Structure 1
Amino acid sequence: MTQREVTDTENTTWTCVQVYGTLSQENADKAAELTEDTNGEVTVVCTPSGGAQTVRLQLPKDWMEAVTDEELANQIEAQQQ
């Protein structure tokens, strides 16, 4: 499973993983294709290290490479409001 960690301005560390990321790579790729929306985005779930609630984000399918840590943290914070 490929995951990514970012820390927000509140010093909370978030672990983000694409939905179906726990599947084998072949199955995860197929699931991502099936769940990709019309804008080419996929669902990413980010789980905090502390007391905050998990958030779901819609991000470009290449979010691991294309979205910076700062952008990811900003999207998480915006989703919490």
Structure 2
Amino acid sequence: MMQQREVTDSHNTTWTCVQAYAGVETAATAEAVERSATNQGGVTVVCTPRGGAQTVRLELASDWQQNLSDEELQQAIAAAR
């Protein structure tokens, strides 16, 4: 199951964030996930605003789902825009 999180920023925009390649189990995907992991053991997360404006790509710790607060996620999105 693909994990995703929704967060609303200071401009009242709701963003849906999902780890890139999450939930697709193939050999090619496993390789892509390996390549998408950063040197610090992070992962690529894609956040899409409601309404479909420009998406942002974030490099976050692999435990972002559990350990990144909504405020930290909002800050990462703002910094990437």
Q: Give the alignment's TM-score, normalised by structure 1.
A: 0.83
1:16-31 aligned within 5 A: 16-24=17-25, 31=32
Alignment partners' CA distance in 1, 2:55 and 2:72: 17
2:43 paired residue number: 42
CA distance in 2, matches of 1:70, 1:28: 30
Matched to 1:53, the amino acid is Q
RMSD of Structure 2 on Structure 1 (CA): 2.3
Q: Alignment identity in percent?
A: 55
Q: Given residue 17 of structure 1, which amino acid in structure 2 is its aligned partner?
A: V
Distance 2:68 2:30 in 1: 19
Instruction: Give, in angstroms, the shift of residue 3 of structure 1.
Output: 0.6
Quote how far apart the aligned CAs of 1:21 are: 1.5
Query: What residue is the counterpart of 2:5 in the other structure?
Result: 4
List 4+ stretches of structure 1 deviating above 4 A: 27-31
Q: Measure how far apart 1:31 and its partner are.
A: 4.7
- The question of 1:59 aligning with 2:60 is answered yes
Aligned length: 80
3-state SS of paired residue (1:39) = coil
- How has the CA–CA distance of structure 1 residues 53 and 31 changed in structure 2, closer, same or farther, with 3 Å as cutoff? same
What residue ranges of structure 1 are gaps of 5+ in the alignment? none
